[in-house]
Structure 1
Amino acid sequence: MKNSMENVQNRRNQLVAELKQISSITVKDLADQLDVSEITVRRDLKALNDMGRVNWHHGVVEKVDDELSQGNSLRTKIEQLKDSIAAAVPSYITDNSTLFVNSSSLCWRAINQLAVKPLTIITNNIRATECVRHPETSIILTGGEVRYPKESLVGTVTIQLLETMQSDFTLIGCDGISAENGVTTQNIYETQVNSTMIQRTKQKVICVADYRKIGVSSNYHVADLSSVDVLITDSFANERVVRDFRHRGIEVIQVAN
């Protein structure tokens, strides 16, 4: 019988845990330690290498720090995942609708993808003015205090403007989304802005997050999981968590990598 995806993910997590203890190891030694075949280890390594969690070459596996966001290899892979997720967003937004968009980098990519549709986009992301757009699209900045280095607009002015509006859709990025703590962020200044966007949505809240954010809780609570209608992520996302989200009524889309 084939392993369930949950078992596969547990084995891959164990593989990464083994690598945290040493700097490098051969495929054969890993297979012996995990008591599985070399073919199985190679299949796991291909997936983990694609995710940027390990460096695998010439039969040797090298440790990759989970904080590798500064490393060129992982950064490139994550950027590619974000592009794939962003490219899926336009299918869930109707023409001529109004949408709130928060200041996440993934949402910024999605704004560029939404150039195929005429829209009214209301956002606290200053960089949205750099995005390509449909000739009939209006981009409205919320105003407020500029927070660097992210260049997001936050504070009382931002929230007051959002409270005078309603959107058809809200597109929200996050630092974590889990069943226990819902949508969370590590930026305290953006918490209430994101929460207000979600509360003022008439139709659907669409959350975009790569696999690193799925099942994770960050410092500050934005909204309960029940507030999310659609989650767009990638196929590396934890399958157990994805299955739980679906059971809770969230439409989860996993883009190919």
Structure 2
Amino acid sequence: MVGSALRQRAATAALLIPLTVAVVLWLPTPAFALCFAVVVLFGAWEWAALAGLAATRARTAYLIPIAAGMGLLWQTLGAGWSPWVLAGLSLWWWWVALTLPRIRVVEPLRGVTWRLLGSGSLVLLGPWLALVYLHGLGRNGPLLVLFLLVLIWIADSAAYFSGRRWGRVKLAPMLSPGKTWVGAYGALASALIWGLLLVWGLALSWDRALLALAVCVVSVAMSIVGDLYESLLKRRRGLKDSGRLLPGHGGMLDRIDSLTAAAPFFALGLTLLGIGS
């Protein structure tokens, strides 16, 4: 049974990874924005269920404001407002990061939680704006998007393998029993190592290089927050996965949960450093 699940997981990854790389590197920004919008809408469908919308019609209706939000953000991309929106999203995720450690009991949710329907717009629109914004930053834009995606993939893998091998103390047992402090340290260490490629590729001065490495580390730290936040919502609904769209991986939200919190920080950090502009 375990072997079959691993084969499913590997087969799905073997299809998704080259497809994702091709979309990021070969498509112009408008086409990339449209493709990622489809990903976000799949995530919105699953988020609606986490918020308590069970009926197909209600979950479909939730896609409308999310799609409208992406359309509005696309219209404002050229107006110079994106960094301000990313800053607001980053502050919201900081609030989530400060809130999660205070949770001592995971209360089950019943019925529709309207507050989650609202916060879903922040969770889902944030990574869309961040990635589309990065993608449009000249010739380096697609490479910066790919760098961020690989940063998250490497951090997730480092957390899994280091935690499995050496992890003993749980990071947040109430939210995600499988995560350990050693796994988190492994993820942060991988961010430093992978971040060196960004420093080298952009030929940054030593002071900007240190700041760029800090952006990578903070982004990975926030990716853990995004993962834990989704884990909290799933536990409140008694779910293991957000969906069954991706064999071996669960739902779309299970694949992009780390990105939801990391992407706004990464895009804002690079903007403040003047990287990619």
TM-score, length-scaled by structure 2: 0.25
Structure number, greater radius of gyration: 1
Which of the pair is proportionally richer in strand?
1
Which of the pair is proportionally richer in helix?
2
**Greater relative CO (CA pairs within 8 A, separation 6+):** 2
